[in-house]
């Protein structure tokens, strides 16, 4: 399991978003050389988001889930 915090700035739209990425990996026991990965991304508001920032009380306002299959070419 790994965790990472990323901050993204969108200059054209004038806002910044902070994300927490949680990633897990496991070998697929049914397939040699295959690793399965799950990723959850949580999005947080920033103080520049105004009253909504305070309403969120430090909790994520959106979640995104992804899955990946990593294979090794021999």
What is the domain count for the chain? 1
Residue ranges in the chain whose pLDDT is less than 70: 74
pLDDT, residue 21, reads 98
What gap in Å lies between CA 20 and CA 5, rounded to an integer? 5
> Measured at the alpha carbon of residue 61, what is the angle toward residues 58 and 66, in degrees to the nearest 5?
120
What gap in Å lies between CA 51 and CA 33, rounded to an integer? 49
- 45 contacts 15 by C-beta, under 8 angstroms: no
* Domain span holding position 24: 2-71
Q: Which residues contact 29 (CB under 8 A, 6 or more apart)?
A: none
pLDDT, residue 19, reads 96
pTM confidence score: 0.80
């Amino acid at each position: 399991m790994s965790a990472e915090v990323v901050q993204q700035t969108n200059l054209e739209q004038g806002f910044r978003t902070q994300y927490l990425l949680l990633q897990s990996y496991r070998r697929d026991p049914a397939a040699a050389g295959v690793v399965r990965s799950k990723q959850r991304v949580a999005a947080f508001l920033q103080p520049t988001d105004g009253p909504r920032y305070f309403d969120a009380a430090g909790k994520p306002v959106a979640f995104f889930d992804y899955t990946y299959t990593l294979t090794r070419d021999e």
